[in-house]
Structure 1
Amino acid sequence: MQLKLFQVDAFTSELFGGNPAAVVPLTQWLPDELMVRIAMENNLSETVFFVPEAHASAGDFRFRWFTPSAEVDLCGHASLAAAHVLWRHLDFPGQEIRIQSMSGPLSVTREGDGISLDFPARPGEPVALDPRWGAAMGAMPVAAISDRKLMLVYESREQVAALTPDMAALSEFDHLGVIATAPAEEAGFDFVSRFFAPKIGIPEDPATGAAHCTLIPYWAERLGTQTLAARQISPRGAVLRCVNRGDRVTITGQAVTYLEGKIYL
């Protein structure tokens, strides 16, 4: 058996920026164990597999996302990468892709030279600070928000950039991953972030759409604006344009193809 494989840098307009995702188009699902092994072999933060639904010609697909060690219920950069592949390489003609997923219905649309994700908002709840978080991250935050991910708020971009997390300690947290965020302190941008998820095989994720489902509602309320520009200040860097829409968020970015190949099974 041969499968197509694409590797796409997402949330960037330049090769070697943003977050690389592997994209594997399928006509029918592979066994779960095999998809896990493919994701492990790809050794990227996420591999996305998609299968056309009965009405694929109208834009209906089912997406599944895998880290090198686990399936996850939502992934922004791999969804953006898959949409890029459908439009750029597989000649999908529509302007909207409708996605069935573990997180419910999602959609992706073309917006000029960008691709926009319609995802659920996940605002989380404020929680009391735990000294363990400061010890594990290398600096104590000033506030924390808890959802499936833990969001730690810092006073400055400089603090977030300087964090040196203890990955073993983070792996012991109850949360799927840890978001660190602060004001952008840069013209044209509103906030910055970094994301760490060693528990699911991702020490630091270069660009994380799903984390912005929590970041966007927080910063929209704090800054009093529904339209936001974000930087993820990982070593690769990423730019995300965001809109808060109540129980949904829109996350827009660009993508660049790095490679196209085949998997031999």
Structure 2
Amino acid sequence: MQLEFHQVDAFATQPFTGNPAMVYRLDSWLDDALMQQIAAEHNLAETAFVVKEGAAWHIRWFTPTAEVPLCGHATLASAHVLFEVYDEPGEVLDFTCLSGALQVSRAGGKLVLNFPVRRVQPCELRADVEQALGQPVESVLALYEGQGIQELLAILPNEAAVRAFQPDLAAVARLPGLGLLISAPGDEHDFVSRYFAPFIGIDEDPVTGSTHCMLTPYWAQRLDKSRLSALQCSARGGELHCELAGERVKIAGQALLIASGRLFLS
């Protein structure tokens, strides 16, 4: 069996920036264990698998070690592949996933993700987070889903503090949830961020669309504006254009196809 794959740099305007994702368009689902092995083989932050089910595309995302419920950059990458490689018609793609209905549209040379708002709440883990970060923070918030914490968000005083942070990944991995997000007001953008998820095999994610479902409502309320410019200031870096629209977040960015190939399975 041969499977065609495509590697895309998402939230990027030139090669080797933004966040790389691998995309597989399948005719039917593979075994879960096989998809996890494929993701581990590629060893990118996310490998996306999409299957057409009715009028929508069912999308699933795997890190090298686990399936995740929501991923922005790999959805952007998948839409780019469906539009540009497989010539999907129209200007809008509908997706379904573990987190519900998603949509990606083409507008003004960008792809626009339409994702659900994910609201954070204050939590009582400030001391634990400060110990893991090795520095004081302004506040700690959490995204609660199901029976516990899904993500943690630490607010730092400024962009310089976000850029200078050197993570103790073992300490971060011991915190509850999938990962730790740090954010602060930006110097040239409304806000900046970085995201660390060693617990699920991602030491630092270059650009994370899904975390902006949390960051956008937080900064929209704090800055009293619904349209915000964002920078994820990882080594590769990426710009995101965010808009809070009720209970949805619109996240716009560009994408580039970097490589295509075939996976050979016996």
Query: TM-score scaled by structure 2?
Result: 0.96
**Which of 162, 170, 179 is the matching residue for 1:168?**
170
The count of residues paired between Structure 1 and Structure 2 equals 259
Name the CA distance, whole Å, in 2 between partners of 1:130 and 1:102.
29
Maintained 8 Å contact 1:157/1:184: yes
Cα distance, 1:128 vs structure 2:
3.8
CA deviations over 1:141-168 (Å, ceiling 9, x no partner): 1011101210100111000111111111
Overall identity of the aligned pairs, in %: 46
In structure 1, the partner of 2:210 is: 210
Residue 15 of structure 2 corresponds to residue 19 of structure 1: no
More strand by share: 2
SS in 1 for 2:12: coil
Name the CA distance, whole Å, in 1 between partners of 2:97 and 2:171.
31
Maintained 8 Å contact 1:139/1:159: no
Name the CA distance, whole Å, in 1 between partners of 2:7 and 2:79.
12
CA deviations over 1:149-206 (Å, ceiling 9, x no partner): 10100111000111111111111111111110000111xx200000000000000000
Q: List alignment gaps of at least 5 residues for structure 1.
A: none
Give matches, 1:101-250, under 5 Å.
101-128=97-124, 130-147=126-143, 148-186=150-188, 189-250=189-250
SS in 2 for 1:140: coil
CA deviations over 1:208-241 (Å, ceiling 9, x no partner): 0010010000000000000000000000000000
CA deviations over 1:44-86 (Å, ceiling 9, x no partner): 000000001123xxxx110000000000000000000000001
Q: List alignment gaps of at least 5 residues for structure 2.
A: 144-149
Give matches, 1:28-67, under 5 Å.
28-55=28-55, 60-67=56-63
More displaced 10-residue stretch of structure 1: 236-245 or 129-138: 129-138
In structure 1, the partner of 2:147 is: none
Maintained 8 Å contact 2:240/2:253: yes
Cα distance, 1:129 vs structure 2:
5.1
Name the CA distance, whole Å, in 2 between partners of 1:80 and 1:260.
17
Q: Which runs of 4+ in 1 moved over 4 A?
A: none
